[in-house]
Amino acid sequence: MKNNSLWFALLTRSNFEQAVYSSICKKRIDAFLPRTRKPSQRKDRKLMIETPLFPGYVFVKSTRAPADQLPILKTLGAVRLLGNSDGPVPVPEHQIESLKRLTSVAQDLITGSIIELKKGDPVIILEGPLAGLKGDFFDYKGRGRVIIKVDLLGRYAGVEVDSDKVEKIPDILS
């Protein structure tokens, strides 16, 4: 894609996220489908399955030019690019990078000591694969782990990290 490409959120038909993602990738267009693992809802087996983090959405990179967006919108299962009356609204690059880091990180990190935080305190992750990610303290998990609430595209995701890898952001900086 061209240098002035931006990320856009593409609304898909229900349960078509993977099909749309695969089709767009085959067209050599940058796309991103953040996934999460969760237990299967079936009673007869206990499996961990991958599901979209944002059901109904795939992120695609394109310019604002309608000619560049047309191959994306012609993809089977694609509905529309999210936007307003002025057209599609781009998703900030830093939010896509945060999503990529969040979905690629391993769940099990070494435990550490608990720090004094109150619910809603602004914090930053200091070390590890999520270093630099900002969010709000949510809760103590136990065994030196805390849950941080991270704002991603207007939705919140809970991230579990070691308490010694998190630092409160001073009120004058937050």
pTM equals: 0.61
E strand or H helix at 40: none
Mean model confidence pLDDT for the chain: 81
pLDDT band at residue 64 under the 50/70/90 scheme: very high
29 in Cβ contact with 1 (< 8 Å): yes
Domain housing 33 = 6-91
Same domain, 85 and 156: no
Same domain, 76 and 147: no
Asked, for residue 24, whether it belongs to a domain, the answer is: yes
**pLDDT tops 80 at residue 49:** no
Same domain, 112 and 76: no
Rounded to the nearest angstrom, the gap between the alpha carbon of residue 171 and the centroid of all alpha carbons in its chain is 26
φ/ψ (deg, to 5) at 26: -65, -25
| Amino acid identity at 40 | S
Report the CATH number at residue 164.
2.30.30.30
The tally of CA atoms less than 13 A away on the side-chain side of residue 166 is 32
Report the CATH number at residue 38.
3.30.70.940
Point out which residues pair with 145 in neighbouring strands. 142, 162
